[in-house]
Amino acid sequence: DVKVTQSSRYLVKRTGEKVFLECVQDMDHENMFWYRQDPGLGLRLIYFSYDVKMKEKGDIPEGYSVSREKKERFSLILESASTNQTSMYLCASSLSAGGQDSYEQYFGPGTRLTVT
């Protein structure tokens, strides 16, 4: 079974802090994704990566950055956390780009981040 793990289930940070959310997958997937999930808005794509050291902006990249130094690990960084970044953050991975496999994404359990 594919396993996608996220470093924390719950996180509380103060405004202005730098926040790191870590995601690790164990199935050698090329693609990795970061979403945020908010009530009434569904899942929105923040950033994604097709390969090591590669990143692409999603629909709402502002205020976030990412890092992918190793294939299995994809980190989301909030350079200076703000209260409007309070949300559920979900990481996902999928097989290589260019086909049906790309759309079968495997999700982690999520990190609920609260910024006070």
Partner 1 sequence: GESVGLHLPTLSVQEGDNSIINCAYSNSASDYFIWYKQESGKGPQFIIDIRSNMDKRQGQRVTVLLNKTVKHLSLQIAATQPGDSAVYFCAEGRDDKIIFGKGTRLHILP
CB of 103 to partner 1, least distance (A): 4
Q: What CA–CA distance (Å, rounded) separates 93 from 5?
A: 11
Nearer to partner 1 by C-beta: 43 or 77? 43
Kindly state whether residue 45 participates in binding partner 1, applying the rule CB under 8 A. Answer: yes
Kindly state whether residue 25 participates in binding partner 1, applying the rule CB under 8 A. Answer: no
Kindly state whether residue 102 participates in binding partner 1, applying the rule CB under 8 A. Answer: yes
Kindly state whether residue 11 participates in binding partner 1, applying the rule CB under 8 A. Answer: no
Nearer to partner 1 by C-beta: 12 or 97? 97
For the chain, where are the E strands, in sequence order? 4-6, 10-13, 19-25, 31-38, 42-49, 56-57, 65-70, 73-78, 87-94, 106-107, 111-115
Kindly state whether residue 50 participates in binding partner 1, applying the rule CB under 8 A. Answer: yes
Of 36, 21, 10, 32, the closest CA to residue 102 belongs to 32
80's tokens: 């200076």
Kindly state whether residue 31 participates in binding partner 1, applying the rule CB under 8 A. Answer: yes
Q: What CA–CA distance (Å, rounded) separates 82 from 76?
A: 15
Kindly state whether residue 90 participates in binding partner 1, applying the rule CB under 8 A. Answer: yes
The residues of the shown chain that bind partner 1, judged by CB under 8 A, are: 4, 31, 35, 40-45, 48, 50, 58, 90, 92, 97-98, 100, 102-110
